[in-house]
Structure 1
Amino acid sequence: ERLWSSGCRSRYQGLIGRLKFLRRPFCIIDVSTISASIVVMSMRSSGQVFAASALRGLRFFQILRMVRMDRRGGTWKLLGSVVYAHRQELITTLYIGFLGLIFASFLVYLAEKDTNAKFSNFADALWWGVITLCTVGYGDAVPETWQGKVIASFCALLGISFFALPAGILGSGFALKVQQQQRQKHMIRRRQPAATLIQSLWRCYAADEHSMSVATWKIHQVPLPSPPSSRERWNRTSSNQTEFA
């Protein structure tokens, strides 16, 4: 239905316009969801034995219906605008956090590589650093030496204090963005009454007899002399001839 009615807009008219409309992200999601639903329903109705994994894979596309709830993409636009507005702060925190992760993982690897089999290579130490700095703590790899425990303690404190900064930046950015949108809505609601008030005051000022305004419509308020009648023109002509004689 949306594909058929998309031709109402000039840029989606014709076959090329319909194909351009189908290339939109939400249209691709709709087509995928509808196709998966048709396949699942046809497999059930036909009674054929279908691979369970393939059937579950097709059912996954039906979850994409939740994306249609935000068809205008306002949520994603809001998130993108917040990230773009605070990109410098986010890049700075991520850069410093990445450096801290590399150094902490390397130090733990140096302290535990000879005594702990869980830190046999740098990749295992890096995995431990990610889990520790993100304050998840699976517990699959734990330092055993006192040097490793000291480094792990500093990593835990760093994760709590520094790795939580992006969440705070995004939270404050969302609050400021919502406040800005509310302010814009308030200004839009007050724009029309303010414009009407300004126009009314200007008309009152321009219609004043003592006003120095040169409004274009004021000349229509000045009464113009009516054209003389035929009798008046005849009397005026007669008087002129008498004076000439």
Structure 2
Amino acid sequence: MIVVFGLEYIIRVWSAGCCCRYRGWQGRFRFARKPFCVIDFIVFVASVAVIAAGTQGNIFATSALRSMRFLQILRMVRMDRRGGTWKLLGSVVYAHSKELITAWYIGFLVLIFASFLVYLAEKDANSDFSSYADSLWWGTITLTTIGYGDKTPHTWLGRVLAAGFALLGISFFALPAGILGSGFALKVQEQHRQKHFEKRRMPAANLIQAAWRLYSTDSSRAYLTATWYYYDSILPSFSWREEEAAGPRCLRLR
């Protein structure tokens, strides 16, 4: 597999010269610096290093290099070479950046205030909230709905504050998921609409061109000087004539 993977990488870099942007050694080197090519090269080198160390019998080197096997997971990234998934995600985030920033900003403020107030209410009666960092950890786990349960408020004031800020904060921390979900749905719908438009554009363009050619080449419209001059310049081997005085006009070769 490593031999096939290496040959595929070499052939891909070599064949990149077919594109005018990557012609020559400098162009191929520019192609090899693309993110997906760099990932492929790192995975290939790591795989070769692990196999080479395993065959030499060096236990320390083998155990050290075996930790590099996690780089082989990066091969999964190659499944999307064109980067369509990441482009789609980036376009959705960019299109809804203001909404996301607003939701995260308000959620961050709720987290800071909730952690501080619960810390003031619990610091004397609860050893789990001995510092503001402990309270901030509790706030992060609570408002993100993870809820490990390692730290819980004991006083009634702390519980009331925790319940109120949890209801308020969770709503803002859940907003980005809804924003991204609706953004993905709108983007996919737009892509489907664009594909449908692309399928209909060429037949419509051909129909418009055919109708205009039929209209502009009619000899009864000889006053269209610009149109006839254009056709005479690009089609000098064709001319109009009348077969009969009342018959249809036709196009014949000279």
Partners in 2 of 1:196 and 1:102 — Cα distance?
Answer: 62
Sort the Cα spacing of 1:53 and 1:159 in 2 relative to 1 into closer, same or farther, 3 A: farther
Say whether 1:83 aligns with 2:86. no
The answer for the alignment partner of 1:108 in structure 2 is 118
Where in structure 2 are the equivalents of 1:183-194 lying within 5 Å?
183-194=193-204
Aligned amino acid, residue 211 of structure 2: L
Partners in 2 of 1:51 and 1:138 — Cα distance?
Answer: 39
Assess if the C-alpha contact under 8 Å between 1:43 and 1:50 holds in 2: no
Instruction: List gaps (5 residues or longer) in structure 2.
Output: 1-10, 233-237, 243-254
Assess if the C-alpha contact under 8 Å between 1:106 and 1:125 holds in 2: yes
RMSD over aligned CA atoms reads 2.1
Partners in 1 of 2:231 and 2:40 — Cα distance?
Answer: 60
Q: 1:146 aligns with which of 141, 145, 156?
A: 156
Say whether 1:24 aligns with 2:34. yes
Partners in 1 of 2:126 and 2:62 — Cα distance?
Answer: 42
Q: 1:2 aligns with which of 12, 36, 41?
A: 12
Sort the Cα spacing of 1:2 and 1:141 in 2 relative to 1 into closer, same or farther, 3 A: same
- How far apart are residue 223 of structure 1 and its match? 4.9
Partners in 2 of 1:105 and 1:91 — Cα distance?
Answer: 21
Measured against aligned partners, the alpha-carbon deviations of 1:129-175 in whole angstroms (never above 9, x if no partner) come to: 11111011001110011111011111221243221110000000000
Query: Alignment partner of 2:184: what SS?
Result: helix
Partners in 1 of 2:209 and 2:20 — Cα distance?
Answer: 37
The answer for the alignment partner of 1:69 in structure 2 is 79
Query: Alignment partner of 2:69: what SS?
Result: helix
Query: Alignment partner of 1:38: what SS?
Result: helix
The answer for the alignment partner of 1:231 in structure 2 is none
CA radius of gyration, larger in: 1
Partners in 2 of 1:128 and 1:53 — Cα distance?
Answer: 38
The answer for the alignment partner of 1:124 in structure 2 is 134
Assess if the C-alpha contact under 8 Å between 2:111 and 2:169 holds in 1: no
Where in structure 2 are the equivalents of 1:145-184 lying within 5 Å?
145-184=155-194
Assess if the C-alpha contact under 8 Å between 2:143 and 2:170 holds in 1: yes
Assess if the C-alpha contact under 8 Å between 1:118 and 1:124 holds in 2: yes
Q: Which moved more, 1:188-197 or 1:47-56?
A: 47-56
Instruction: List gaps (5 residues or longer) in structure 1.
Output: 225-245
Partners in 2 of 1:142 and 1:53 — Cα distance?
Answer: 42
- How far apart are residue 39 of structure 1 and its match? 1.2
- How far apart are residue 222 of structure 1 and its match? 4.7
Partners in 2 of 1:218 and 1:49 — Cα distance?
Answer: 81
- How far apart are residue 193 of structure 1 and its match? 0.3
Q: TM-score, normalised by structure 2?
A: 0.81
Partners in 1 of 2:58 and 2:75 — Cα distance?
Answer: 26
Aligned amino acid, residue 49 of structure 1: I
Count of equivalent residues: 224
Q: TM-score, normalised by structure 1?
A: 0.84
Assess if the C-alpha contact under 8 Å between 2:53 and 2:62 holds in 1: no
